[in-house]
Chains A and B, each alone.
Chain A
Amino acid sequence: MLKKFVCIICPNGCEISAEVEDGKIISLQGAGCPRGQEYVHQELVNPVRNIASSVLLEGGALPLASVRLSKPVPKDRIFDVMKEIKKAKLTAPVSIGQTVIPHVLGLDSDVIVTKNIPVR
């Protein structure tokens, strides 16, 4: 079966068409780099996405600290992860890379801070 994909790994957004049988890639066309093949494979087996949000910050110069995941998580767990992020709270100061939730929901990904925010 011919399946079409838009690779989201980089801004090139390659349109990839892949001949897929039983979840396996038989042939693949349109990928501008090897990451395209990896992406299609991932999409077939277990699509993953990174998400960004923010966490409430107490005593900071800003009311929110922006966060993202250190690694993408399965697409169907995105809203579960969002619930965990919503529960979290931080106290200023915070800095980029600081872990908010290690291994969120037991997944191989941490919620990390993406902004340096000093105390108010």
Chain B
Amino acid sequence: MEQKDVIIIGGGPAGLAAAVELCRRGVRDILILEREETAGGILKQCIHDGFGLTRFHTTLSGPEYAQRFLDETEKENIQILTGTSVLSLTPDRVVTAVGRGGLKHFKAKAVVLAMGCRERTRGALAIPGERPAGVFTAGVAQSYINLHNRMVGKRAVILGSGDIGMIMARRLTLEGAEVSAVFEIQPYPSGLPRNIHQCLEDYGIPLYLSHTVTDIHGKARLTGVTVSQVDEKLKPVPGTEQDFSCDTLILSVGLIPENELSMQAGVQIDPRTKGAVVDEFCRTSVEGIFAAGNVLHVHDLVDFVSLEAERLADSVAEYVKSGSLPENRLSISADKNINHTVPQKISGKNGFTLSLRVSRPLAGCEIQVLQNGKVIQSKKMKKAIPAEMIQIPVSRESLSGNGNLEVRALC
């Protein structure tokens, strides 16, 4: 069994950023395990631009953004085993992986979970109807078109107004397909406003809110879908059915952190984020196991993934060197306007960045962080939408070592 200081599972934006920053902190005995043949994660297929505005103050495509971190890992001589899938992770940090050389076992002082997320599928939604070819998740369609030079169809409709779905609506249109509509079950869009504008409105693609696909037609290949309006409880309203003929249905219905390995290791999962419960050190409930990026909670911008992974690296470096981190006795709770927070626990001894999402669109609200009933940090927002991750810095000075935190949105 090979010993390592840090093993990073996943060579996407989170894993790469964590590795580079760990090196800068003097931790050099690092191994990244990546199941794909090349590192860079999903950014390889995200060829649209708009990445890097926060992290690099310039607009880059996904591959360009990834390359910046790949160049750094190369410069720092960080070992990346590609084509290597991790099969298991134990609570005492034994990692079993399989790659070209067969099975390998590693033991690490610290393990960083950076596996990213996966897409929800038709199965997860239980859409009734036939099961023809032509139903793709947005990311799969993106991979076919942008990596494999395979067009997915000629006439498409999109279910879900997630960012990837809208970006694929534009991509399909540019490639000559006709995208007739985007349907969103919620009464508000689930992606960023700028994507509604530059991916849908620019190309005249209508967005139907409070609508969902209620039937799928076609034997070998999709021939059309039935769409219905939904009520406040998101239940289809009988009599509102409308048929749309199409050969392709693109699903952009949400992302779920990929936590199979985390759960195997006994990491406590937050039912709201579907990622690990962590403290401000990105430390999970299992000793020596840390998590950052989309495996922790789904981010809207990759820039925030990198920044989070870089902060994690600070803590992991500290942990590897000293063998311990301050105790995290304080919890963070949230009111019903807030869907979740990350971290969910803190030590009370360090400043940290609180990430959260609101549970419904809010106008003219103030998000407050309270400790012992006293507001210690607040952020006024003209509008807050679930699509957008909100980050609030909480300084060390404002915190007391005692007393749980509450987060609320006042409207």
Contacts and interface: CB of A to CB of B under 8 A. Distances in A.
A46 interface: no
Contacts of A75: 202
A23 interface: no
B147 interface: yes
A62 interface: yes
Given A13-B192, A15-B383, A49-B202, A114 B147 contact: no
Contacts of B174: 51, 53, 78-79, 82
A21 B197 CA distance: 23
B50 interface: yes
A68 B47 contact: yes
Contacts of A67: 47
Give the interface size class of chain B.
20 to 34
> DSSP majority for the B interface?
mixed
Interface residues of A, number: 29
Nearest to B43: A115
A66 B63 contact: yes
A30 B381 CA distance: 12
B268 to A, nearest CB: 31
B194 A8 contact: yes
B148 interface: yes
B226 interface: no
A66 B197 contact: no
A6 B148 contact: no
A63 B61 CA distance: 18
Contacts of A91: none
B193 A6 contact: yes
B7 to A, nearest CB: 26
Interface of B: 44, 47-50, 53-54, 59-61, 63-64, 67, 146-149, 174-175, 192-194, 196-198, 202, 300-301, 382-383, 388
21 contacts: A6-B194, A6-B197, A8-B198, A10-B194, A11-B192, A11-B301, A13-B192, A13-B193, A50-B49, A52-B48, A53-B174, A64-B149, A66-B146, A68-B47, A68-B49, A82-B174, A82-B175, A115-B47, A115-B63, A115-B64, A115-B67
